[in-house]
Structure 1
C-alpha cells in the first residue's frame, strides 16, 4: 500500500515536471525566435519561414541600433525615470506600510480598502484628466510629471506588499529594542528595515520593471524625440521608418530586455521570500 502511494506520488511529480518543461519551451520559443531574427539580415519577419537558426548570422542590427540610432539616449531617459520613480515610490511606501502595519488609528482599514479600489481602475480612465493637469502645470515632456504618475501608481502595490511583510516581523523585537533605549527612528532603520530587506528589494525591482516597460503614459505625455524612453523608442521603430525592419526591431527589443534580466538574476534569491511573505497577511 505504501509502495503504491509512493509510485503514484513519483508519477505525479514526473507528469508535473513534464508539463512545466513543455510550458517553458512554449514560452521560450518566441524569445528564441526574436534572438534569431535579431542576428539575421534585413528582411521581413513574415516573409520567410520560421527558423530558430539564422542562415547568415550577423551583428549588424545591434551595431545599427547602438551607433546609428539614439538608443543610448533613450536608455538614459528610462534609467532616470525608473530610478527616480523607485526612490520616490519606495521612500513613501516604506514609511506608509510600516505605519499601517504597526499603528491602529481611525480610518486605517478604510484607507487600505480605498487604495485597493483605486488600484482596480484601469489607468486609461485617468489619461484625459492627467493630460489636462499636465498641460495646466506645464508638465508635458517632463520627467517630473511622469515620475509623480508612476510613483502614485506603484505606491499602492508597494504599500500592500511591504505591509504584509512588516506584519510577519514580531513586534516583540521592537519592544525589546525600546527597553534597551532605542528610539523610533533607530528601531526602523537598524532593526525593521534590515529584517524587511527581501521585501524592500523585490518591491523596488517590481517598481523598476513597471517603469522600464511602461508604454501608455510614456508615449502620451512625452512628445519630444530626445526625451523618449525605451518604450517610446521601440514604438518609433515599429511605426515609422523601421516598420518593415523586424530584425532591427528584434535587436532593439533584446537590448531593452538585457538590463532587466541582469537585475532580476541579481535579486533572484529575494524573490520568493519577498513576494510570498508580503502576500500572507493583509
Structure 2
C-alpha cells in the first residue's frame, strides 16, 4: 500500500515536471521578443541568441509611442473592435437563443448552412467584398470593416452561445413563466445573467479576432490614419531595406498588452457551470 502511494506521488511529480517544462518552453519566444524589443537598433540580425541584451534600452518603445502613429492605430482598433463586438453579439444572442429553444422548420438546415459558410477561407471572398464595398462607398471606412467582421464572427458566436443556452435547464424558464414573466423579460432578467460567462468569453474571442486581423484591414483601409494596430504593424515591415526588428518587437509587445489585461479581467468568467444546481434550489 505504501509502495503504491509512493508510485502515485512519483508519477504525479513527473507529470507536473513535464507540464512545468512545457510552460517554460512556451515562454521562451515571449522572452526573446522582449529581449529584442529592449535591444538597440540593428541587433535583430546579429549572430547568437540571447534572452537578455547586454545594453537594454527603452528607445524602441519611445519611438513607437511618440514617433509613430501608434495611438491613432490603437484608437482605430478600439473603435473597430468595440463596434464589431456590439453588432456580432447583439445579433448572435437572440439568434442563438432562438435556435436553442424553438423548433421551427429548416432550423437544422440553417445551422448547417451557417457552419458550411464559416468553413470557407475568407480570402475567397476578398474580391467580391472589395467590389461590394466600393459600390457602397464603404472603402477606407471603419463601419464597412466592422460589418465584414461582424458578419464573419456572428456565425461563431451563434454556435458558441447556442451550446451554452442548451445547457441551461428548461425548468428555470418554465418556473419564470409560471411567475408571470413574458419571453422578453425572462430572456433579459434570467437567461442573459445565467449566460453572461459565455457571452463575455464569446465577446472576447470576437474582439481578439478583430484585434489581430490584418488581411481585410490592410486591403480595405487605404490611408495611414485609418490603420488598425495589425495593419500598422504590417506597414512597419513593408520596406525592403528599412526593416527594424527591435522596433517591430516593441510594437508587438505593446499591441499584446490590452489583450492580456482583458484576459486577466475575465478569468472568473472562464469557469463554466454557474447554472449547476439552479433547479435543485
Please report the TM-score for the alignment, with normalisation by the length of structure 2.
0.93
Q: CA deviation at 1:14?
A: 2.5
Question: Which of structure 1's runs of 4+ aligned residues deviate more than 4 A?
Answer: 2-5
1:3 deviation in Å? Answer: 4.6
Query: Does residue 135 of structure 1 match 2:120?
Result: no
State how 1:1-282 maps to structure 2 within 5 Å.
Answer: 2-240=1-239, 243-273=242-272
Aligned residues: 274
Counterpart CA distance in 2 for 1:169 and 1:63 is: 50
Tell me whether 9-18 or 172-181 shows the greater mean CA deviation. 9-18
Matched position secondary structure for 1:52: coil
Work out whether residues 60 and 246 of structure 2, in 8 Å CA contact, stay in contact via their aligned partners in 1: yes
Q: 1:39, 1:58 within 8 Å by CA — same for their partners in 2?
A: yes
TM-score, scaled relative to structure 1: 0.93
Instruction: Give the drift of 1:132.
Output: 1.2
Cα distance change on mapping 1:224 and 1:194 into 2, 3 Å = same
Deviation per residue, 1:207-241 (Å, 9 max, x gap): 01000001111111111111000011101111128
Further displaced range: 66-75 or 244-253: 244-253
Give the whole-Å Cα distance in 1 for the aligned partners of 2:241 and 2:83: 31
**Alpha carbon RMSD of aligned pairs, Å?**
1.7
Equivalent residues of 1:236, 1:242 under 8 A apart: no
| Distance in 1 (alpha carbons) for counterparts of 2:156 and 2:242 | 36
Give unpaired runs (5+ residues) of structure 1: 278-282
Give the deviation of 1:13 after TM superposition.
2.6
Task: Give the secondary-structure state (helix, strand or coil) at the position aligned to 2:41.
Answer: coil
Query: What is the deviation of 1:11?
Result: 3.3
Residues 69-123 of structure 1, C-alpha deviations (whole Å, 9 max, x = no match): 1000000000011000000000000000000111010111111111111111111
| Distance change in 2, residues 1:49/1:135 (3 Å) | same
**What SS does the corresponding residue of 1:273 show, helix, strand or coil?**
coil
What residue is the counterpart of 1:280 in the other structure? none
Report the Cα distance in structure 1 between the residues aligned to 2:91 and 2:64, rounded to whole angstroms.
37
Q: Residue 25 of structure 1: SS of its match in structure 2?
A: helix
State the 1:242 CA deviation: 7.9
Deviates more, 1:222-231 or 1:23-32: 23-32
Indicate if the aligned counterparts of 1:42 and 1:247 stay in contact, CA closer than 8 A: yes
Q: What's the secondary structure of 2:46's corresponding residue? A: coil
In structure 2, list runs of 5 or more residues that go unmatched: 277-281
Aligned partners of 1:183, 1:164: CA distance in 2, in Å?
23
